[in-house]
Every structure is written in C-alpha cells, then in structure tokens.
Chains A and B, each alone.
Chain A
Amino acid sequence: MSMKFDRPMNWKELPAGCLIDEAATSLRFKTGDWRSMRPIWDAEKCIHCLFCWITCPDTAITVQDGKMTGIDYDYCKGCGICAVICPPKASAIDMVREEK
C-alpha cells in the first residue's frame, strides 16, 4: 500500500499501474457536509430491527452485536430513507433541518 492522502501524489509516487492499492479509502472522504436534513436517532424508541441499516445507501448506520448504535454523520447524506423505513410503532428516527 503506497497511497498518500495528505497531498496530491506526483506521478512517481503512484502505485505501479492504474489502481488504488488499498481497500475502502473513501472512508477518508467525508460526505456528511452534503446533508440538508439530519436524522436524529432515539435509542430509547429503537427496536433494533436493522431496517434502516440494511437500506442505508451510505453505510452510515452503525451496528454492534446486532444492535443499532447510532448514525455516522461523517457519511450520512441525510436522504431520510432510515426515517421512512423505521417501523411506525417505533418511529425512532426524526429528520430535522441541518444547522449551517
């Protein structure tokens, strides 16, 4: 692995070939500032059905040991799919306007 992210690499520093020679480097690219709406998760109400987790396009629902633990605002783009898919009997996610 030879990638550098702190500054643009020059051509002699690139991995030999036409490739990104490590996985999941997009985690260094935060898309949280795209949000205009922010999902607020209520841990009390959550029934841990994981519907929000499996339908999140941005892998932004954090889960540990099969239980939801929160929302990763580094990557959440605020689409609100999670709030819509959350079962009505739980309604554990609210969308609020993002403070700028």
Chain B
Amino acid sequence: MKTIAKTGNEAMAYAMKQINPDVVAAYPITPATEIVQIFSNYVADGEVDTEFVAVESEHSALSACVGASLAGGRVMTSTASQGLALMHEILYIAAGNRLPIVIALVNRSLSAPINIHCDHSDTMGSREAGWMQLYCANSQEAYDSLIIALKVAEQTAVPAIVSTDAFIISHAMERLEVLEDEEVQRFIGEYKPRFSALDLENPKTFGPLDLQDYFFEHKRAQIDDFSKVLGTYNKVAQEYAELSGRYYPALEEYKTDDADVAIFTAGSTADTAKEVVDGLREQGRKMGLVRMRMWRPLPVEEIKAALGKFKAVAVMDRSDTMADFGGPVFLETRGILYDAKKKPLLTDYVYGLGGRNIDISDILRVYDEIEQVVKQGKIDKLITYLGVRGEE
C-alpha cells in the first residue's frame, strides 16, 4: 500500500494498469480522454501487456471489446456521455452475450445542447442495458471500484460501468492509497472465460438469431445471471475491504441512525452533503445521508431498509427522465418503497444538469425544505428544479 496524488482519471488509468487487461479498445472523449491517454503511455512504455486498439469511434470501441471478450480476453474501455450513447446498441449485445467488459466512465451530460460537464444522464439512459453500474464519490473510490467491478463482472459474466463525476472528480487531485501491482493481480486472479471463440476444438456460433421460440428464454436466463450480481458484489467488496481496509457497500448510510430526514443522492454531491450533515449535527439537527453507489442492479431491500426509517427523504437526481415526473432515482425509489411497511414522504430535487454547481447552501436548502415537509406532514412540491434560473 502506498499513498500518491491522483485525479479521478489518473486513478482509473492506474487501476487499469494494475489490472493489465488483454485488450483495451477506446476512443477519446472529454472528460474521459485522459484515462486512455495515460493508459496508452503505459502501453508505449511496456508497463502493461495490453493490446491497445485505438479505434475510430466509440461504437467500434465497444464492438472491438465484444470481439476481444468473445475471444477470451480480459477487456476494458473508457468513455463518457456521447460516447456511451454511441455505444448504446452494443451495450445490450455485450450484456446479452455475458461479456464481463468493464468501462471506466466519466459522467457527462448528453447533448443537446452540447456540454462537457457533469450530470448522470449518460449512464441513467443506459440503465436497462444489463450492465452493473457503480457511481463513485471520489478518486479513491473510483480506483477501488474499478478493481472490485472487474472481479464481480468476471464472476457473474455481467459487464460493469464504474463512473466518476465529470471534472469534479475526473480532474480533481486527491490523495490516494493504492495497492501494489501484485496485490491487485492476486485479488482479481487469472481470467477464466466461460467460453472462447478461439477454442478450435469446439466451434460455436456466438450471437445467433432467436425467433419467437427462444428470445424470451435467453432474456430470462440473462435476468437470472443479473440477479446474482448484488450478492457477488457484497462478497467481493468484503474481500476487498480485508485487503485494502476500505469497504464500499452497495448503498452507503451516513449518520442515519437517529435521523428523521435524509437526502438520497449519488456521486460527488454525496461527499459535499456529508459535510453539510456534519454541520447540521453540530446544530443538533437529526439529519442523515444515504448514498446510492450501485444503481444496477438496484439494491432493493437495502434501499427499503435504509429509507424506510425516515419521516421524509429528498432524492437528489442529477438527470431527468423526461417523463414529467422527475429524475430516475426518484422514480425508481418510489417504486421500491411502494410496498414498504414504513415509508417516508418522498420528494425529488433535480439538480446540477450540465455541470451546474451545487454547493453547501443548495444542499442546506434541501435539508431545510425536507424538514418543513416533516413538520407539515405533507409535500407541497413533489419535484423541484434546484439551482436553475427562472424557478421561483
């Protein structure tokens, strides 16, 4: 274990180096470019054994990853925003084929208007593609999560996206504790694929055509594989904690034990909110924070248990569903709580789109308002757009 200073992108690139995949196929995109740029330096200097395929688009990046993974390789890539959108078609194909590809992603808004800054619309738009999703709150977590995700992906044959917030994490320097290369290698172990298109003894046909008679069965089997991800994740996260001293639950609770109200959010905003909670606690206000880290698969029981104990919860969503019903975290959380024995009053704050700054005063306002909801015993405004000009 050693301590170094790294940005989120440097941390992800460093984890990729220590994982030392067989193939990385990638395409540059702001603000994730640095990840593969740094990684290609490792390749150029012979610090990894990886075949680096500098493709001509993100669509080809993930397509080449699918080919490499079917060929039995350990495979990673990196992208953001439009790049993930261009990969969208192949996300489903990678997952359907059970290929444990891992994407080091930087969350950036989707055009239009074009914008290079943070929100979660890119990954939230891909949440039905069959990929595990982990949202990180800082560089340390991004580094650790990439290593954890790779192992979970390979054990479950489910691909994974590990993401950081554009610029806020990707470009911010932090102190980081990293493992030794050998420790990472020992932790992830040798990759043993379920099958390989290079197996000449038993030729197979990958990605065949299903008609009405088999498509549903194949999807049902995929859903079953996906249902094992959370359990595997919990086990692997525990193993990682034993190795590194850092434990990352699928759902994190912060000062919630006696809290009446909580904010439920993700990413770097959760780290900011922790500071706010500390301040509120000093004032004697019983407020907590729940951080969603894994959003695919949904840690349903964990969310029910964590949020069920509050009188009111404010969800903070860094994207919108265009359903005229708030953000995806809000929508899905409402669904999860529907049959909970105890459930809080639930409101949604859509914030931070396109990198709009969210600071301590914004978060304080949310805590004030959610406290008000508890006092009134009812919700006046279900969905609030926080920090946008023109809102009353």
Contacts and interface: CB of A to CB of B under 8 A. Distances in A.
User: Do chains A and B make direct contact within the complex (CB under 8 angstroms)?
Assistant: yes
A13 B390 CA distance: 57
Contacts of A20: 204-205, 208
A11 B217 CA distance: 4
A15 B161 CA distance: 25
Main secondary structure of the interface of A (DSSP, over half): loop
Nearest to B217: A11
Nearest to B223: A11
Interface in B326-378: none
Contact of A18 (B213, B216, B218): B218
B56 to A, nearest CB: 26
Contacts of B46: none
A98 to B, nearest CB: 27
A20 to B, nearest CB: 4
B205 A10 contact: no
B162 interface: no
Interface of A: 1, 8-12, 14, 16-23
Nearest to A17: B98
Given A9-B217, A21-B202, A23-B203, A16 B208 contact: no
Nearest to B224: A11
A19 B206 contact: yes
A10 B195 contact: no
A17 B66 CA distance: 13
Contacts of B220: 11
A19 B208 contact: yes
B98 A18 contact: yes
Given A8-B213, A9-B217, A11-B218, A22 B202 contact: yes
Interface in B164-221: 194-195, 202-208, 213-214, 216-218, 220-221
Nearest to B220: A11
Given A9-B217, A14-B218, A17-B97, A23 B204 contact: yes
Contacts of A17: 97-98, 157, 194-195, 206
Contact of A21 (B96, B204, B225): B204
A22 B98 contact: no
A70 to B, nearest CB: 27
Contacts of A18: 96-98, 206-208, 218, 222
A14 B202 CA distance: 17
A12 B225 CA distance: 11
A22 B157 contact: no
